[in-house]
Amino acid sequence: MLEISGITIRYGPFLAVNAIDLRVNEGEIVGIVGPNGAGKTSLVKAIGGIVRPDAGRIVFQSRDLSDVPAHLRIGLGISIVPEGRGLFPRMSVEENLLMGGYALASAEEMARNIERCFALFPVLAERRRQAAGTLSGGQQQMLAISIGLMSTPKLFVLDEPSLGLAPIVIAEIGRTLRKLRETGLTVLLIEQNAKLTCSVAQRIYILTSGIVRHHDTADRVMASPEVLEHLI
Ligand SMILES: Nc1ncnc2c1ncn2[C@@H]1O[C@H](COP(=O)(O)OP(=O)(O)O)[C@@H](O)[C@H]1O
Ligand SMILES: [Mg+2]
């Protein structure tokens, strides 16, 4: 579904992402694990069309995205939950969900997707009229995930959903992502938290200093913690 080849991203003289190859098959959950500064968000921005790579290609469903502007990528089925969540804090939970579904063709699909988000996160249904900025950190991340799901994505990309959350809330995000996995959604999960990522993804890429250092199944990465210790 997504094929990244030789993606290189520079900021001036600084090489943030160095010729990365990566693939996500349909129905698969793929994790990218890497420390702060590894180039994870730069890669996410390249997928979203916010950053233009200096070299390489991103192909989504056999279509080269090089000349597809950011705002059209969502229509192709790519949805990104950005690092830092990207909510509208003064708008209500429900209004935030409507924003996430702005590109949908019909009111029926909008209503159906809102109900699906509320089924996934009942606490958001209870708080549908509350301003998003007044939710707890965990609830805000659930809302960010829901906003991302509103556009009925084919490829769902999450940039560090566990950032700044307490372990108990991270565990809940993990449960949610495993529930999403059961729906057959294709997910690219980008994280610093290797344990969370291995509990959700089937395959893992380990990224440090802009380079893919290791690539294996989540089971094998989990079974050899020295790999993680050595690399991160
Ligand atoms: N707009 C920018 N200008 C200059 N350097 C940047 C910019 N964005 C990111 N970087 C640098 O690129 C590297 C990778 O950043 P980033 O992609 O945000 O990594 P991660 O998400 O893995 O923490 C870091 O060293 C960061 O300081
Ligand atoms: Mg980042």
Residue identified by tokens 């805000």 is 140
Going through 55-153 in order, the beta strands assigned E by DSSP cover: 55-60, 63-64, 78-81
pLDDT at residue number 68: 97
Q: How far apart are CA 112 and CA 118, in angstroms?
A: 10
What is the pLDDT of the chain when averaged over all its residues? 95
Residue 141: predicted pLDDT = 94
pLDDT attached to residue 57: 98
Count of beta carbons in the 10 Å neighbourhood of residue 201:
24
Give the C-alpha separation, 83 to 21, whole Å.
22
Instruction: Tell me the CA–centroid distance for residue 39 and ligand 1, in Å.
Output: 6
Q: How far does the centroid of ligand 2 lie from the alpha carbon of residue 126, in Å?
A: 31
| Six token digits for residue 171 | 């565990």
Q: Which pTM does this prediction carry?
A: 0.95
Q: Is the predicted pLDDT of residue 99 greater than 80, yes or no?
A: yes
Rounded CA separation 145/113 (Å): 12
- Residue 79 confidence (pLDDT): 97
Residue nearest to atom 4 of ligand 1 (CA): 11
Q: Is 69 in the pocket of ligand 1 (CB under 6 A)?
A: no
Per-residue pLDDT, averaged over 87-116, amounts to 94
Query: At 138, which helix (H) or strand (E)?
Result: helix 137-149
Ligand 1 close to Cβ of residue 82 (< 6 A): no
**167/173 Cα distance (integer angstroms):** 10
pLDDT at 229: 75
Q: Report the pLDDT value the prediction gives residue 227, as an integer from 0 to 100.
A: 75
Q: What is the mean pLDDT of residues 14-43?
A: 97
Residue nearest to ligand 1 atom 16, measured at CA? 39
The response to whether residue 41 sits with its C-beta less than 6 Å from ligand 1 reads: yes
DSSP 3-state of 77: coil
pLDDT of residue 224: 84
Cα of 165 to ligand 2 centre, how many Å? 15
Asked if residue 231 has pLDDT above 90, the reply is no
Given pLDDT bands bounded at 50, 70 and 90, which one contains residue 196?
Answer: very high
Judge whether residue 221 has pLDDT over 80.
yes
Structure confidence by residue, pLDDT tens digits, 133-158: 999 999 999 999 999 999 999 999 99
Q: Tell me the best of 7, 9, 10, 11 to mutate to test the pocket of ligand 1, counting ligand atoms within 8 Å of each CB and taking the most.
A: 11
Give the pLDDT score at 10.
98
Q: What is the pLDDT of residues 35-94, one digit of tens each?
A: 999 999 999 999 999 999 999 999 999 999 999 999 999 999 999 999 988 899 999 999
Distance CA 125, CA 120 (A): 10
**Which bin fits 39, alpha (ψ -120 to 50), beta or left (φ > 0)?**
left
Assess whether pLDDT exceeds 80 at residue 179: yes
